[in-house]
Structure 1
Amino acid sequence: MRFVFAAIGRMKAGSDKDLFDRYLDRARKVGRGLGVSAVEVIELAESRAARAEDRKGEEAAALLAALPGRARLVVLDEAGKAMTSAGFSALLQAWMDDGVSDIAFAIGGADGHGAAMIERADVSLAFGAMTWPHQIVRILLAEQVYRALTIQAGHPYHRA
């Protein structure tokens, strides 16, 4: 099983990237014992198209082309479904139990996801009704993946 974090835009060096990398490292370490062979990051350039719909379409095409073809896809979208940490962990566990080889998480550009990305998604996930900066969404996602894995491993990190 492999996790792929795919995002439009690049994280610059600094405290945000350090925190993101720390949670990825933790997820990798806990995940090894659960059959997670890799946690990868794909960063793609933002579209330069003039219109928002064109940018979303170009970015969706780039993300879809970069993802493993048979991956289960979770898109981060403010119109998505809110989940508890335990529910998110259960979803990932169910996919792992089904023998899914890749789980991809997609974070769109500043304008959001294009229609092709939303249509391809297995799950559309929201971290609440507020709009979050992409750097923070990456950190929140990495932390929640780590938390999900600690729940599966019976680690005391998650206190519910």
Structure 2
Amino acid sequence: MRLHLCAVGRLRAGPERALVDDYLARLERTGRPLGLGPATEHEVEDRKGGGMAAEAALLSRAIPAGAALCVLDERGKTLSSPEFAQALAQWRDGGRQDAALVIGGADGVDPGLRARADLVLSFGRMVWPHMLVRVMAAEQLYRAATILAGSPYHRV
């Protein structure tokens, strides 16, 4: 199952970019034998200032047709890492070719796009900077692959 990290905004060179690249490279090595990956980043920018609706339209174009859709939102479910890994495995085993994790802009994800999600996921009740959310999402994708592979990376 191909993985897509779809986010509003561009992640420039710096420590966050290095971390995302590192976790996605690790995911590539660990996930491929499990049928997870490759992971592709899709960055969109609303240059016309159309707000959440315009961002949702751009994000929708980046999401492959038929993809399992996971929207990151502070009002979503809080899952453990093993529960998130299980969700990915269920989508993969259910025949989904793609899964997309969506990170909205400063105002969040448009309610219409959020309503289409197979899973609305929260990284907690706190609000996180978008660049850190992208790092956390990349790390959780890698962690999910290690959990499914039985690797000691994830310790309970």
TM-score when scaled to structure 2?
0.97
Change (3 A) 1:7 1:39: same
**1:85 and 2:97 are equivalent in the alignment:** no
| TM-superposed deviation, 1:36 | 2.4
CA contact (8 A) 1:47 1:58 kept: no
Give the deviation of 1:97 after TM superposition.
1.0
Q: Which ranges of 4 or more aligned residues in structure 1 deviate by more than 3 Å? A: none
Cα RMSD for the two superposed structures: 1.0
Deviation track 1:95-115 (CA, whole Å, cap 9, x = no partner) reads 111111000000000010112
1:50-129 mapped onto 2 (5 Å cutoff) = 54-129=50-125
Gaps spanning 5+ residues in structure 2: where?
none
Aligned CA distance change for structure 1 residues 37 and 144 (closer, same or farther; 3 Å): closer
* Contact 1:47 1:59 (C-alpha < 8 Å) held by counterparts: no
Q: CA deviation at 1:122?
A: 0.7
Q: Residue 71 of structure 2 contacts residue 117 of structure 2 at CA under 8 Å; is this kept in 1? A: yes
CA contact (8 A) 1:77 1:124 kept: yes
1:11-41 Cα distance to aligned partner (Å, 9 max, x none): 0101110011100110111011111241100
Does the 8 A contact of 2:36 with 2:145 survive in 1? no
TM-score, normalised with respect to structure 1? 0.94
Count of residues in Structure 1 that have an aligned counterpart in Structure 2: 156
CA distance in 2, matches of 1:103, 1:28: 15
Match of 2:137 in 1: 141
Give a deviation string over 1:26-75, Cα, whole Å, max 9, x none. Answer: 011101111124110000013543xxxx5001101110122101000000
Q: Is the 8 A contact 2:28 2:39 kept in 1?
A: yes
Identity among equivalent pairs (%): 46
Indicate the residue corresponding to 1:12 in structure 2.
Answer: 12
Query: Quick one: distance in 1 between partners of 2:26 and 2:46?
Result: 28
Gaps of 5+ in 1: none
Q: Which amino acid aligns with 1:41?
A: E
Whether the 8 Å CA contact 1:78–1:131 is kept in 2: the answer is yes
Residue equivalent to 1:43 = 43
